């Protein structure tokens, strides 16, 4: 299914609507800044690297749409698009890094014509897209070396093509390890409330990789019942000290992995590492609308006036991480360093 999550079609971005999967495969055309803002906010497109890629195209789109304006108007519209996109989802650092790259193209070429700058913005967005795909190939190859034959592994959220436009981070590692006959079965956490587990199941089903979906609350029972070799997860932002934010539920998976001596492997491109954030406490965690919890599918299962807490991510402290796998290599985490000493 490679190449399906998004495609740039010359003057608009076509995206697979992830809120409809796996029951229906519907595409959306994004043609102006507000289309991009909505697609990111409403989780039509999601996953840290993919959000970064889409952010790049959003700025390129704003440039193309204003290519016939005068320079002042062009610049104002592109800067407005950058500001609008940067206010969509706060946790994944990939979004901000992509926007910084796009902004630099604008700043460095401000003496050129709007048409020329718009073309350069498109080239930069395509470069971000290509680099993210290449990063997932390296991560997959490297990460698979950590997986022993006959492994039962657990993953959370979706970290595949739908989250990266490439092979995936954690899911890329699983794919590569499966090709090497090392994966017996993948346990897919459902990942309430957005159920990104259904996206992972969809990708695994397409690749004929054996899997089972379980509700998030069943994960403790799973560790007691099945010998899990590794939990393999993605990340939205990795702080300088190794703490990282990822989909809500990741922290409990890290605690269980330590308790049951399963490796806990964090897979992410270099664009997810944030040296400017010292530790996990400084990561801004997105809190989403309470109706995502009050509702199941389209129906309310809790009255509208019941209070809920709906953090989209949690922070896992560095001491619970066995390995970090990025496109630049494998780094031992503090848990591994402690176990080995
Ligand atoms: O809210 P989402 O679906 O955008 O959250 C995505 C995750 O938490 C992923 O695990 C993370 O972005 C890594 S994707 C390679």
Q: What is the pLDDT of residue 298?
A: 85
Beta strands in the chain (DSSP E): 6-8, 13-16, 27-30, 151-155, 183-189, 211-214, 230-233, 237-239, 244-247, 263-267, 273-274, 295-296, 299-300, 313-316, 323-326, 329-332
* CA dihedral sign, ordered 119, 124, 128, 134: positive
Pocket test for ligand 1, best of 5, 140, 159 (most atoms within 8 A of CB): 159
Which residues fall within 8 angstroms of residue 78, CB to CB, at 6 or more apart? 59, 62, 63, 66, 106, 117, 121
Distance 187 CA to ligand 1 centre (A): 17
3-state SS class at 8: strand
Q: Give the integer Cα–Cα distance in Å for 78 and 263.
A: 44
The residue whose C-alpha atom lies closest to atom 15 belonging to ligand 1 is: 159
Pairing of strands 13-16, 6-8: antiparallel
DSSP at 287: B
Task: Report d(CA 273, CA 285) in Å as an integer.
Answer: 16
Q: Which of 21, 46, 155, 265 to mutate to test ligand 1, by most ligand atoms within 8 A of the CB atom?
A: 46
Structure confidence at residue 165 (pLDDT): 97
Distances (CA, A) of 214 to 156, 201, 211, 231, 288: 10, 11, 10, 14, 23
Query: What's the CA gap between 59 and 141, in Å, rounded?
Result: 32
Q: Is residue 212 left, alpha or beta, with left meaning phi > 0 and alpha meaning psi from -120 to 50?
A: beta
Single out the catalytic residue among 35, 236, 274, 327.
236
| Distance from residue 78's CA to the centre of ligand 1 (Å) | 27
Between the CA of 92 and the centroid of ligand 1 the distance, in Å, is: 8
Nearest CA to ligand 1 atom 10: 234
Q: Is the CB of 269 under 6 A from ligand 1?
A: no
Please give the pLDDT value at position 3. 55
Q: How far is the CA of 298 from the centre of ligand 1 (A)?
A: 22
pLDDT in tens, the chain (341 residues): 555 899 999 999 999 999 999 999 999 999 999 999 999 999 999 999 999 999 999 999 999 999 999 999 999 999 999 999 999 999 999 999 999 999 999 999 999 999 999 999 999 999 999 999 999 999 999 999 999 999 999 999 999 999 999 999 999 999 999 999 999 999 999 999 999 999 999 999 999 999 999 999 999 999 999 999 999 999 999 999 999 999 999 999 999 999 999 999 999 999 999 999 999 999 999 999 999 999 998 899 999 999 999 999 999 999 999 999 999 999 999 999 998 77
Compute φ and ψ for 257, nearest 5 degrees: -65, -40
What pairs with residue 299 in β-bridges? 296
Question: 14 near 27, Cβ under 8 Å?
Answer: yes
> How much is the pLDDT for 132?
98
Ligand 1, atom 2: closest residue by C-alpha = 47
Report which ligand 1 atom has the smallest distance to the Cα of 48. Answer: 12
pTM score above 0.95: yes
- 208 CA distance to ligand 1 centroid (A)? 23
Of 252, 324, 248, the residue nearest 334 (C-alpha): 324
């Amino acid at each position: 299914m490679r190449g399906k999550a998004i495609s740039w079609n010359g003057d608009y971005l076509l995206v697979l609507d992830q809120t409809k999967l796996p029951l229906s495969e519907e595409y959306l055309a994004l043609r102006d800044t507000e289309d991009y803002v909505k697609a990111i906010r409403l989780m039509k497109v999601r996953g840290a690297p993919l959000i970064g890629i889409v952010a790049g195209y959003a700025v390129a789109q704003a440039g193309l749409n204003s290519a016939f304006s005068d320079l002042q108007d062009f610049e104002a519209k592109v800067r407005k698009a950058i500001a609008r996109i940067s206010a969509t989802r706060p946790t994944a650092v990939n979004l901000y890094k992509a926007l910084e790259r796009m902004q630099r193209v604008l700043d460095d070429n401000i003496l050129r014509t709007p048409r020329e700058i718009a073309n350069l913005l498109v080239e930069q967005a395509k470069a971000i897209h290509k680099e993210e795909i290449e990063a997932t190939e390296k991560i997959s190859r490297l990460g698979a070396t950590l997986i022993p034959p006959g492994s039962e592994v657990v993953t959370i959220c979706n970290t595949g093509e739908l989250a990266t436009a490439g092979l995936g981070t954690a899911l890329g590692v699983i794919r590569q390890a499966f090709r090497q006959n090392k994966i017996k079965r993948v346990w897919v956490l459902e990942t309430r409330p957005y159920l990104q587990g259904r996206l992972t199941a969809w990708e695994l089903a397409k690749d004929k990789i054996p899997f089972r979906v379980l509700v998030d609350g069943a994960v403790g029972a799973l560790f007691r019942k099945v010998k899990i070799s590794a939990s393999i997860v993605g990340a939205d932002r990795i702080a300088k000290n190794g703490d990282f934010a990822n989909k809500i539920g990741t922290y409990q998976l890290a605690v269980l992995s330590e308790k049951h001596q399963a490796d806990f492997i964090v897979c992410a491109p270099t664009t997810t590492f944030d040296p400017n954030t010292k530790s996990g406490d400084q990561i801004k965690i997105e809190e989403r609308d309470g109706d995502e919890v009050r509702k199941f599918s389209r129906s309310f299962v809790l009255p509208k006036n019941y209070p809920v807490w709906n953090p989209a991510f949690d922070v896992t402290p560095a001491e619970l991480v066995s390995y970090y796998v990025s496109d630049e290599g494998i780094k031992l985490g503090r848990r591994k360093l402690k176990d080995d000493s």
